Amino acid sequence: MPIEIANNVISVMEKIFPDKSFRINTSLPNNFSWPMERQDLSELFGNLLENGGKWSQAEIDVSISQTDSGLTIEVADDGPGITPEAASKVMDRGSRLDETVSGFGLGLSIVSEILEDNFGRMNIGPSETGGARITVVLPFPE
């Protein structure tokens, strides 16, 4: 249940990053379900939202929708963004763009592994506010 899991993860992130605003946008019902391991979906949201919390100035927007391609999750922030050159690097295990920010460089590599196991894909680009927008698409199961 992606909406329930996202709301639970947001509750945790609001405690970790009390000065940040996490907003969720979806037209899906709260009881919408997706055929995926709950733990994988929790880790996926956790890593995406933690990155948003670390890098944003103040706001992290989460969008969850069902499209023709499958389940689409977007996490956008108002931080410094990720250059196209750095986008491929951040998916490597242990890779960190800024050593002054706490972490181990595992977040997006874990997301990448979860997506690989579930035949999904990830795109990293700019958000409307100049920060990063990470889009994850999980295809319909066959």
Q: How far is the C-alpha of 119 from the C-alpha of 123, rounded, in Å?
A: 14
Could you tell me if 95 and 105 are in contact, meaning their C-beta atoms sit under 8 angstroms apart?
yes
DSSP bridge partners of 59? 21
DSSP bridge partners of 26? 64
Q: How far is the C-alpha of 107 from the C-alpha of 136, rounded, in Å?
A: 14
Could you tell me the pLDDT band of residue 87, with boundaries at 50, 70 and 90?
low
Could you tell me the pLDDT band of residue 113, with boundaries at 50, 70 and 90?
confident
31 phi and psi angles, rounded to 5 deg: -90, 10
Could you tell me if 43 and 73 are in contact, meaning their C-beta atoms sit under 8 angstroms apart?
no
Mean per-residue pLDDT for 81-86? 73
DSSP bridge partners of 115? none
Mean per-residue pLDDT for 106-129? 84
Give the H/E segment covering residue 8: helix 2-16
Could you tell me the pLDDT band of residue 95, with boundaries at 50, 70 and 90?
very low
Q: Where are the domains of the chain?
A: 2-139
pLDDT one-digit tens code per residue, 6-60: 999 999 999 999 999 999 999 999 899 999 999 999 999 999 999 899 889 999 9
Mention the CATH class of domain 2-139.
alpha beta
